[in-house]
């Protein structure tokens, strides 16, 4: 497994195991398979688990990770978790952040997190349900800094899928996050987490801005919530954003067939090839899907010609 620079945290594996898949967010699985998948990922050289309290019912991702690490301790495994701070509910962000951190640490069985992320979209103006405003973000950032000083977290960051102007302001501001989770996939699809109509995501600008400011980029949604795979592995209504994106992505599946590979492998190789991406989070839910992603990483970066073909396809859509 290739190791890449990750700023304050040192070096990190090119692939990170995400908590959504092992918690059943992206299709059915169970605890036994989740634990086995975590063990297989660690055996393959993956050095970070990306969790969140909201992944799965009753904190399933964190609980599964805790069980996996208790049965096979890995002191060198880095752990990421998150906190949501929508400001249309309780306003005391510092208390909520600490309460969330305490709960995550108890479920995972650790005394600190390596990376703690704001799991909330940042808006320009508001209010808007499910988001946080610029003032709230600054309050949260100050608390993250205090937690890092206290040693309860080693680094902090943002889920950079909010309004691009606000995301860029956070990346360029002070205090500056150590990391940003950015949607990175061949067609720039993120329909099921996007609620800024009429505003394009500007993924390339955010990756470039993060690189200029020393913010490590964590690539997420490499297969666009399943839209860039051979078939959606969960039932969604016809008008659901994932279903819409899946239909739009048919030319991508045709290109994958022409290149003699699967859509999932092509999508992951693309994310791994994008300059400035430190690690790519996997949404796998079992060892079979993990093996496909490991094969994608082992295959190495896409050629300039393949990258050009994907950029041309994105422009056409």
Going by C-alpha positions, the residue among 236, 262, 248 that lies closest to residue 317 is: 248
Domains held by the chain: number: 1
Q: Is the pLDDT of residue 106 over 90?
A: yes
Contact assessment for residue 137 and residue 172, using Cβ atoms and an 8 Å cutoff: no
Average pLDDT over the chain reads 92
pLDDT of residue 225: 87
CATH number at residue 202: 3.20.20.100
Pull the structure tokens for residue 55: 């992944």
Average pLDDT of the residues in 276-282: 97
The β-bridge relationship of strands 115-118 and 156-159 is: parallel
Q: Could you tell me the pLDDT band of residue 63, with boundaries at 50, 70 and 90?
A: very high
pLDDT of residue 92: 85
pLDDT of residue 127: 64
Q: Which residue range forms the structural domain that includes residue 116? A: 3-316
pLDDT digits (tens, 9 = 90+) for 82-93: 999 876 555 788
- Using CB atoms within 10 Å of the CB of residue 58, give its burial: 0 to 12 exposed, 13 to 18 middle, 19+ buried: exposed
Q: Is the pLDDT of residue 130 over 80?
A: no
Q: Is the pLDDT of residue 191 over 80?
A: no
The β-bridge relationship of strands 121-122 and 131-132 is: parallel
């Amino acid at each position: 497994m290739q190791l890449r620079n990750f700023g304050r945290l040192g070096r990190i594996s090119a692939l990170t195991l995400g908590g959504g898949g092992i918690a059943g967010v992206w299709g059915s699985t169970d605890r036994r398979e989740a634990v086995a998948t975590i063990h297989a990922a660690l055996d393959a050289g993956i050095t970070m688990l990306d969790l969140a309290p909201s992944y799965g019912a009753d904190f399933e991702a964190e609980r599964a990770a805790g069980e996996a690490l208790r049965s096979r301790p890995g002191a060198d495994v880095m752990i990421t978790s998150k906190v949501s701070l929508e400001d249309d509910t309780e306003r005391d962000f510092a208390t909520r952040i600490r309460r969330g951190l305490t709960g995550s640490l108890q479920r995972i069985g650790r005394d600190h997190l390596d990376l703690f992320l704001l799991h909330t979209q940042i808006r320009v103006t508001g209010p808007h349900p499910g988001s946080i405003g610029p003032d709230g973000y600054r309050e949260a950032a100050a608390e993250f800094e205090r937690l890092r000083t206290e040693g309860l977290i080693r680094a902090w960051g943002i889920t950079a899928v909010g309004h691009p102007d606000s995301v860029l302001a956070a990346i360029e501001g002070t205090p500056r996050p150590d990391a940003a989770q950015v949607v990175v996939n061949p067609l720039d699809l993120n329909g099921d987490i996007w609620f800024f109509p009429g505003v394009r995501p500007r993924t390339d600008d955010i990756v470039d801005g993060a690189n200029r400011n020393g913010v490590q980029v964590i690539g997420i949604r490499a297969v666009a919530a399943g839209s860039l795979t051979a078939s959606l592995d969960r039932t969604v209504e016809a008008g659901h954003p994932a279903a819409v994106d899946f239909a739009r992505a048919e030319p991508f599946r045709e290109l994958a067939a022409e290149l003699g590979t699967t859509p999932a492998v092509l999508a992951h190789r693309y994310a791994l090839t994008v300059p400035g991406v430190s690690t790519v989070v996997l949404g796998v839910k079992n060892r079979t899907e993990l093996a496909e992603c490991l094969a994608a990483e082992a295959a190495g970066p896409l050629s300039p010609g393949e990258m050009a073909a994907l950029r041309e396809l994105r422009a056409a859509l």
